[in-house]
Amino acid sequence: MMGVVAIENLRRTLRVLAVVPIMAGIATVLFGSDIIPGGGRPGASVESELRFYGAWWIGAGLFLLSLAPRIEERGRELQAFAALLALGAVGRVIALVDDGRPHAQFLVLLGVEIVVAGVLVAWQRRVARS
């Protein structure tokens, strides 16, 4: 019984978490750099690239949603997702070193990305064993 509850809780969590990149991606595609605190107005190339990445965020959220129904069997895919999330955090660290401290929102996101990546993988492994 406990295993079923743990699986359902993980599924719900993945569905809720998936909303974040989907909404962020939609906002980025539609509004570009206007959604970035302190982002200013970049040139057309940066704006184009940013909006392109927004579509990938939508895809990441949809991918996370697709994992939820059978998450106990989809550990490798979740690990890949978590690795990409952690790699994104590494990119934020590189930006911090190269360009200085960003808006506080991005420091919070850096921490969340690292923690969420690790917690999701550990949680999925525990659920898969039960």
Which of these ranges, 33-42, 50-59, 90-99, 103-112, has the smallest mean pLDDT?
A: 33-42
Residue with the bigger pLDDT between 3 and 111: it is 111
Q: State the SS3 of the chain.
A: CHHHHHHHHHHHHHHHHHHHHHHHHHHHHHHHHHHCCCCCCCCHHHHHHHHHHHHHHHHHHHHHHHHHHHHHHCHHHHHHHHHHHHHHHHHHHHHHHHHCCCCHHHHHHHHHHHHHHHHHHHHHHHHHHC
The pTM (predicted TM-score) of the whole model is 0.88
Interval 32-89: pLDDT, tens: 999 998 877 889 999 999 999 999 999 999 999 999 999 999 999 999 999 999 999 9
pLDDT at 27: 97
What's the pLDDT band for 103 if we cut at 50, 70, 90? very high
Q: Per-residue pLDDT for 102 more than 60?
A: yes
Structure-block tokens of residue 54? 């927004």
Q: What residue spans define the domains of the chain?
A: 2-129
Neighbouring C-beta atoms of residue 79, cutoff 10 Å: 15
Structure-block tokens of residue 58? 């939508």
Q: Per-residue pLDDT for 23 more than 80?
A: yes
